[in-house]
Chain A
Amino acid sequence: MRTRLLARLGLASSILVTIALAPAAATATEPRSVDWLASIHDSADLSGPVIVAGSVRDAKGRPTSGRAALLAFPPQDVMSAMKVGDSVRIVPVGKGRVDPDGTFAVRWDPRIPIGDFVSSMDTVDLEVVVEGPTGAGVVSLSREVTPDGRAVEVAGNAARDPHSRPEVVLTLDPRLARARQSSESTDRAVRDAAGPVYCVNTLKSIYPPVWHLVAELYTGPHATVDFTYSVGAQSTLGVGLSVSGSAGSFSQSGKVTVASTGSVNFAEVPQNQRRVEETQWRYGKWDLTCPMVPRFEARPHSWIGGSTYYNAAVTPAAPYCTPYLVGDRPSIDQHRAVEWSNGVKIAALIGVDLSSTTGFTTNAGQKWTFKANGKLCGTNAYPFEARTIVAK
């Protein structure tokens, strides 16, 4: 782990560069087919685990063929350290064909070392870019790495969480293809003198802090609860995508896993409360100059902290109950919690709220105390496996 941290810090110092792009040498505006990511092995020729699989549809919902690229982002601590105007390379690490039935599967090219991309949470932030005849599609996601840190896998939480399984469905957006064809950036082909194509991600601005929902707590008449959210607590936050980058033009295109870098001291929630707890993140507006699909993205930049709450309107139905005695203190850490489709309140800045999920990791947990005999109940399963816990 220490070696990985040092490697990451080394990457941070080397990757945070302001890249002076060479003047464009205008070439064809059609998607490259001959030398498309020539330095990357096609996934069909590899035998490693599939990192992302899925299907592609056109705007009318019909399966369509095309090609898919897998891009790897630097880890969160590198992105969080960037200032407005800084740029960082986004590197293709896999590619594959989209078959006529619309399906695709992409593997990580094993010649590309994974260590440079691994976060402190042992995850890698990725993006799938699909290009087809009628448009393009982009989705962001995070994947875990194997315990030895040498490969990306769909494991642990990701394997158990249907939202994180490898299958993704992409709908081609004609606007993204037009952006590629019309943008000068298409041909500012961000390419090393010797070789591989990559994208340049420039931090254009940092949005004001936005509230991020981290827990729903329903204490009922017999229990209280302490919610802890401390250093390293993981959340999965939505990523916004836009062709123009203008306010109000973003739509969600996936999500990435992030971790808090400090602690929030939420007050103990007394009995008979319905609280929705929130903390703050800052999002950045990023300009991806990319030979595949140039675009703007709203991505998490850095954790701010702070806490607030509002009162939920109703208590959700929770039929899966386990009784406890007065004085009992059940506590639960480290399991995937509910995903809130509008958990990141950023609509006023980019036009749409984004999703969020907070896992009750070892750094984020619920510690209940029963003041009288009562029950903990889950909304969709028994409490230790439930999306939301309600005390009764």
Chain B
Amino acid sequence: MRGRLLIAVGATLAGVALVALVLARGAYEAGGPLASPRESSVTTHARPGAIMTWGTVLPSNPTASDLVIESIEPSAPVVGLTILGIGASDPRRGAVGTAATYPPPGITPATAVGSVITPRDGPSPFLQVIVGFRLDDPEGRIAGLRIRYVTAGRRYETVLSDALIVVPPET
């Protein structure tokens, strides 16, 4: 009886440890090398129904290792607009801050998943996030971007305070 109890307790503890290990391996550390104190925003003008592009270049990679993007999504519920797509591209082949179409002229956004930011002296030190959206309401807002990525064997989640604000045209 006592032996069975010990086996049961041992099995339970092993199970808990296994679950903790699995959760730890899948977890993201907050911050990481892309964490930036910058706070930026772009206010642009549009009417409801307009389809537009917003672009922002991610912080540079200060490490000596490549950094691979796992996901990019808004950091909070978007307000007043519908996201049509989130992609990525090398801004040296065409950068965009705002554009009145989506995709923006001359740029074909690729999927952000798997995009690489190399160290500054590498072949792809810049990565631009390209967000296509349709304005549904008179005003719209994306508060920031949540970026998940892996570098040097560690996974990070960074919330970037880059915001898009859409307001009605002034005239």
Q: Which residues in A have some Cβ–Cβ distance to B below 8 Å?
A: 156-157, 159-160, 320-325, 327-335, 361-362, 375-376, 381-385
Contacts and interface: CB of A to CB of B under 8 A. Distances in A.
Given A333-B40, A334-B37, A325 B57 contact: no
B91 to A, nearest CB: 6
A338 B36 CA distance: 16
Interface class of chain A by DSSP? mixed
A118 B60 CA distance: 30
Contacts of A327: 44-45, 169-170
B121 interface: no
20 contacts: A156-B37, A160-B62, A322-B57, A322-B91, A323-B97, A323-B98, A324-B42, A324-B97, A328-B43, A328-B45, A328-B97, A328-B98, A329-B44, A330-B97, A331-B42, A333-B39, A382-B126, A384-B57, A385-B38, A385-B60
B41 interface: yes
B66 interface: no
A362 B39 contact: yes
B95 A322 contact: yes
Contacts of A329: 42-44
B145 interface: no
B34 to A, nearest CB: 10
Interface in B95-114: 95-100
Contact of A324 (B57, B98, B128): B98
A204 to B, nearest CB: 36
Contact of A335 (B38, B91, B97, B170): B38
Nearest to B104: A323
Nearest to B58: A385
Contacts of A333: 38-40
A381 B60 contact: yes
Contacts of B45: 325, 327-328
B48 interface: no
Interface in B40-96: 40-45, 55-57, 59-60, 62, 91, 95-96
Interface centre among B60, B91, B98 (most CB of A within 10 A): B98
Contacts of B97: 322-325, 328, 330, 375-376
A323 B96 contact: yes
Given A322-B55, A381-B60, A384-B57, A335 B42 contact: no
Contacts of A382: 57, 91, 95, 126, 128
Nearest to B55: A322
B139 interface: no
B136 interface: no
Interface in B111-129: 126, 128
Contacts of A320: 91, 95, 126
B162 interface: yes
A54 B166 CA distance: 49
A332 B40 contact: yes
Contacts of B60: 381, 385
Nearest to A327: B45
Contacts of A335: 36-38
Contacts of B37: 156-157, 334-335, 361
A-B residue pairs, 8 tightest by C-beta? A382-B57, A335-B38, A329-B43, A324-B97, A333-B39, A322-B97, A322-B95, A332-B40
